[in-house]
Amino acid sequence: MNTLIWFVILYWVISVGIGLYAARYVNNSKDYAVAGRSLPMYVVTATVFATWFGSETVLGISSTFVKEGLQGVVADPFGSSLCLIFVGLFFARPLYRMNLLTIGDYYRNKFGRTVEVMVTLCIVVSYLGWVAAQIKALGLVFNVVSGGYISMDIGMMIGAGSVLIYTLMGGMWSVAITDFLQMIIIVIGMLYIGWEVSGMVGGAGVVIEHAANAGKLKFWPSPTPKEALWFFAAWITMMLGSIPQQDVFQRVASSKNEKIAGNASVLGGVLYFCFAFIPMFLAYSATLIDPAMVDRLIDKDSQLILPTLIMTKVPMLAQVMFFGALLSAIKSCASATLLAPSVTFSENILKAMLPKQSDKQFLLMMRGVVLVFTAIVTLFAMNTGSSIYKMVENAYKVTLVAAFVPLAFGLYWKRATTQGALASIFLGIGSWVVLEYVAPEGLWPPQLVGVLLSMAGMLVGSLVPQFGRLSVAR
């Protein structure tokens, strides 16, 4: 136990130091927000992969798979990996050519200030759950490796504070460089621990056969309207709702050219999909290695199954490799998701309120917003009882119903107008909120109704006669 704690401390100090070293490349707001649009293919691919391979992948997806099987993880990794592939194929290149600082700038240029503000607020709010999930996972790791000596709340504060340090100073440069190194640790660590656990159970085939016999590999839903609708809604929540997000856009915009922007997103999505199955394999192996432990934790806190297995059943080197990979996954995701909403809020909300500030003052403002946002999400993480997987999945519902349709139609439908975008946002959010309140578990999933009415609002609002200045092209 002492060896593992000291490893965690040493790893933490080194990674924070690397992040602070990367801050030397930040000379202006563009460096801070999008790394000066200069990152090569291998770095962009690494940061795409590492940003998405977070706590929900290692702890959330794995525990959900043990309880619900493949049907329970349709949103992530199936939906999330397709999101990255779709971004690379259809969105990265046209957005890169626009030379924007944030995704919110696209909505302003295409539809005007009102749409920019509304979508930006939705994007920022959506990050609360995602970032809080990473902070909560950091608290869990510190609690587990310390044998309970460090409480969850104290662990969350330590984790959030340390990630804040280098994100605050280095912005996208620190995120990119630490992500590249952390991707290497994630890949090596996950492959090694997978090999170690596979040897304990008699090979991967034994685990796969056991999971198949238990019905865990059943993917498609039962042929009933409600099952099919909820399955489809879960799939598109992250597949489409993640596309209009600042963290995804930052990786596109940070690339050296548009070819890298597209290819790195596709490759990152493929890598993420492949490696996301390793934590599922590890967690399900626990049902063969220590079924009593799984029975004890499955309903109490299934997120503890995998770390408990590692702490009690594998040698010290495997523990070090696992928690090194886990910490890398959480830190890379946490730093990116702290930076993304902070930059968006600064650029698309606060900047217009303070139009005469210099670039140096704007950079200082962005750092101030990072600090405030970190404090908010840490408090949110300490006071929510939701699972890591659900926190991440729910985060994308608001952007699915409010931001995806204006982005996609704005890029690929020439008749899309500001009036259509406003109708899309109001109908999407309004219908989703109402159904979440009156029929959260009805036949129709609230977010599916929201995105369908969002599309209807865009079509009708753009085709009917335009009113006043809403018809002015932007």
**What distance in Å separates the CA atoms of residue 41 and residue 340, rounded to the nearest whole number?**
20
pLDDT for the residue 95: 95
CB-CB contact of 123 with 430 (8 Å) = no
**What distance in Å separates the CA atoms of residue 260 and residue 266, rounded to the nearest whole number?**
10
pLDDT for the residue 471: 43
Residues 6 or more apart whose CB falls under 8 angstroms from that of 430 comprise 453
- Taking residue 224's Cβ as centre, other Cβ atoms within 10 Å add up to 10
> The whole model's pTM is what?
0.88
pLDDT for the residue 388: 61
Residues 6 or more apart whose CB falls under 8 angstroms from that of 343 comprise 32, 33, 101, 102, 171, 246, 250, 366, 369
User: Is residue 203 helix, strand or coil?
Assistant: coil
Tens digit of pLDDT per residue, the chain (474 long)?
567 778 877 877 888 888 888 888 888 888 888 888 889 999 999 989 987 887 778 888 888 999 999 999 998 899 999 999 999 999 999 999 999 989 999 999 999 999 999 999 999 988 887 788 888 888 888 888 887 788 888 989 988 888 888 888 888 888 888 888 888 888 888 899 999 999 999 899 999 999 999 999 999 988 899 999 999 999 999 899 999 999 889 888 999 999 999 999 999 999 999 999 999 999 999 999 999 999 998 888 788 888 889 888 888 888 888 888 888 778 877 887 888 889 999 999 999 888 888 988 999 999 999 999 999 989 888 887 666 656 666 778 999 999 999 999 999 999 999 999 999 999 999 999 999 999 989 999 999 999 999 999 999 999 998 776 544 444
**What distance in Å separates the CA atoms of residue 277 and residue 194, rounded to the nearest whole number?**
10
Question: Of the candidates 227, 213, 167, which has an alpha carbon nearest to the alpha carbon of residue 374?
Answer: 167
CB-CB contact of 341 with 102 (8 Å) = no
Q: How far is CA 210 from CA 64, 215, 248, 364, in A?
A: 17, 9, 37, 55
**What distance in Å separates the CA atoms of residue 420 and residue 433, rounded to the nearest whole number?**
20
**What distance in Å separates the CA atoms of residue 408 and residue 269, rounded to the nearest whole number?**
19
**What distance in Å separates the CA atoms of residue 215 and residue 66, rounded to the nearest whole number?**
11
Question: Of the candidates 460, 390, 381, 405, which has an alpha carbon nearest to the alpha carbon of residue 157?
Answer: 381
User: Is residue 39 helix, strand or coil?
Assistant: strand
**What distance in Å separates the CA atoms of residue 437 and residue 439, rounded to the nearest whole number?**
6
Helix 113-145 and helix 2-22, axial crossing angle in degrees, nearest 10: 150
Question: Of the candidates 102, 106, 115, which has an alpha carbon nearest to the alpha carbon of residue 469?
Answer: 115
Phi and psi at residue 218, in whole multiples of 5°?
-70, 125
DSSP state of 223: S
Residues 6 or more apart whose CB falls under 8 angstroms from that of 244 comprise 103, 119, 123, 399, 403, 404, 407
What is the per-residue DSSP string for 371-432?
HHHHHHHHHHHHT----HHHHHHHHTHHHHHHTHHHHHHHHH-TT--HHHHHHHHHHHHHHH
E strand map for 45-167? none
pLDDT for the residue 390: 64
**What distance in Å separates the CA atoms of residue 166 and residue 175, rounded to the nearest whole number?**
8
Structure tokens at 127: 């990050």
